[in-house]
Structure 1
Amino acid sequence: MVALDLRRLRFLREFEERGTLAAVAAALGYSPSTVSQQLALLEKDVGTRLFEKAGRGLRLNDAGRLLARHTHVLLSAAEAAEADLAALGGDIRGTVRAGGLQSAARRLLVPAVARMMADHPRVRVEVFELELEQSLPGLRLGRVDLVIGDEYDGHPRPRPAGLRFAVVLEEPIKVVLPAAHPLARAGGPVAIAALRADVWTASAEGTGHHAMVVGTCRALGGYEPDLRHRSNDADVQLELVRVGAAVALMPPLALPDDDHSFAVREVAETALTRRLVVATRDTPPAPALTAFLDAVRAYARPHQSDGDRSGGPATAVP
């Protein structure tokens, strides 16, 4: 009788999609030797070769492709069984591993942790600060249960098969200026075209925020921004604005309330929107995960943009 290790099957699923040991290792945060070892142990478990040489690398053979097809069914069934057993007990318990970018972690995930501590003390919640791109492989492998990422107009995120995506918050993008900036003192919406000569700050290259800032300057201003400062920490970006070193495009959720050390303005040319998207595996969620999702949605609701789509601190003029 063949004994299948679900963790090793997850490595096989990732290899099927990525094609090389190095790609699997990079995506999952393991060394290539660790990935190779886990797949070799899987071959030992099933008692047959699953790979064949392909140049300097490996590829799945017929047995490997067959097992990979069954792997998708087996992993989905295992998660469904865990969810059903947890629901049958009626007592909400277990572990929820949640990741998200900084503003989502601070304003949504951390308050949701506090709610779970009060309402469901037998649920263990672990929170990680993660960008969506970094966390999707771990989500697929079951190392993370929920991820909150961002998505901007004109810059959609990939939606890999086997995952479920739901928007929990939409909010406008604002121009954030140093308090002494001439356009801050003038008041009113600010044209992106009018910021051609300014220095910009944004998140690291490869993130949705970075792509949004560059794309907005190109599309609305007709120029390449002087993007000198890059940080995934919103506080670092805001500090650069405060000292007069940069301007920024940021959503209200990333801004502190009632801070008059910078000015927040509407974008003049058009309305720009950020969506916070929750990603989970496309399987029935365990009761603990359902309860945590409900808490996240409850804390997202007050931030939901409506009316003038402000969704956060009022425009500040020193």
Structure 2
Amino acid sequence: MSYTSESVLPRSAKLAQLEELVALLGYRKSEDGLKVPGRIGSYFWYDQEEYRSYVGVEIDIYRRSRGPIVTTRSRVGRSYWDLTQQNKTLKLIRDFFGGHFTTDAGRNRYWRPDERPPLPLASGCFIARWRFHNGLGRARIYLMNRKFEGPIAREKSSGLEFMDGLNPRILSNNFLLPYIVAVWEDYFRSTFAAALKYSKQRESALKRARLSHSNLEQVALGSHSIERAIADGFSFQRPTSIAENFRLLDPKLDIGAALRKPYRRRKTSLFDSIEQLVEDRHIFVHTGRMNVKFFDPQLQTALSDIEVAVNRAYECVAAYYGFVPSHDY
């Protein structure tokens, strides 16, 4: 689902001036590889500053004999600032060139925000959680669509470790493990970078920072924030490391405690089960040795565990910094 608009401009509107206004509004030319009749340009706006954008705003400009047409589009997950930019674009185009526009709300009617703008830290943490949600979703789609043939692709153990080691299902599940850990790691690294940016107590983290030449170059080019560059110098795979890193921001920010709380009356906590999951990942990546007991039920448990663990961490950070966590993605 998306939010779209169409601005119909008079014949007097000049395309060159229209493109100049779009550039002044912060849009950058983009290419989608499609040849659309009458379309002379596509543009995209995305504001990374203060975590304002979630999905950005798209613009297409069309040449027409009776006057140009401009369409805008933002996806359903748009942020408050994406919506504001889309409204601003419609207003300025109409103010400068005349004509009229139509949105989902009606003719010459702007969209209204449903709520007040969130705190930048809340936005940064939400974007990290949303990206994790999408990443985990890709793994689940992969599992729903993969197919195996042949008697060796058993869904349960054969009872012989040697035979299980030849099972393509086991190999596929172990292949997925590094990806799952990478998605997990990116969530915590991104959340740490956001918390570091707005934390009042970050001296300990700054003292531990290890910036490489590559990190400094990315910061200089503007592709990374300094907080993200610092976060890249820390490990966020093992829960032990994650808990230690967040305590650098404040000893009271105890994510480890959230992960050690009882879960489904299991003897093993989420903290310990994910520690083992990361260890299995390391063994597989660095030695090629597989966990031959990692059948589909165990994989589904792993996916569920890291999702619950991330939700606990998200809620822990939100409670500490005083914002309401959002799961509207």
Instruction: Report the TM range for the smaller structure's normalisation.
Output: under 0.3
- Structure-1-length-normalised TM-score: 0.27
Q: Larger strand proportion, structure 1 or 2? A: 1
- Structure-2-length-normalised TM-score: 0.27
Q: Larger helix proportion, structure 1 or 2? A: 2
